[in-house]
Amino acid sequence: MTDISLHAASLVALSPRALQALRDRVGAEALQEAGYAAGEGAYRTFVGWLPAIAGVDDPKELAAPRLAEVLSRFFSDLGWGSVEVTPLGEATFAIDSLNWPEAQPEAGLQYPSCYFTSGLLADFVSRIADAGLAVMEVECRSRNDPRCRWLVGAPDTLTTLYQHMAQGADYLSVIGAGA
């Protein structure tokens, strides 16, 4: 199969109205699945990019702080924005971005809505970890949060977190983190 690069501008080029229409329940699932499908290609690109930038062939060779730094540079170099990776609690970590292009701050949406990215990150980080991980966006610039924040953890952990949040709990309190 031949890969084609998906630049951030491709997703952002969708008109705000079309993108908002896609963010209904069915559209959100479609965007997330598309992102998940794109994760494999993004991971392959990352692995091909690593030797020249980080001096390693496998991301597993990087200690967590260095991996976080390299991930930020990778996504920034691709035009997707900068990211910061931070451990949260004992079973999750956060991927934060102040300038992620899928977010549309003028949209004023009610819920986090970077569905494509959630799918992409789920596949991408699962490949790095060589384990099935889930991703859930909990803050989004499209709903006027100051950043986009995706939590990464085991599927059971994030399912439990989601259930608590659906009952009104703050995600930081549930995972025992303060940032």
- Output 27 or 156, whichever has higher pLDDT: 156
As a whole number of angstroms, the longest Cα–Cα distance in the chain is: 47
Two tokens, residue 45 = 């690109």
Q: Where are the beta strands (DSSP E) in the chain?
A: 84-88, 92-97, 134-139, 148-153
> What is 16-175's CATH topology?
Muramoyl-pentapeptide Carboxypeptidase; domain 2 (3.30.1380)
How many C-beta atoms surround the C-beta of residue 29 within 10 A? 13
Name the pLDDT band for 37 (thresholds 50, 70, 90). very high
The pTM of the full predicted model, rounded to 2 decimals, is 0.88
- pLDDT of 16 > 70? The answer is no
- CA-CA distance, 130 to 67, in Å (whole number)? 15
Q: Under DSSP, is residue 88 helix (H, G, I), strand (E, B) or coil?
A: strand
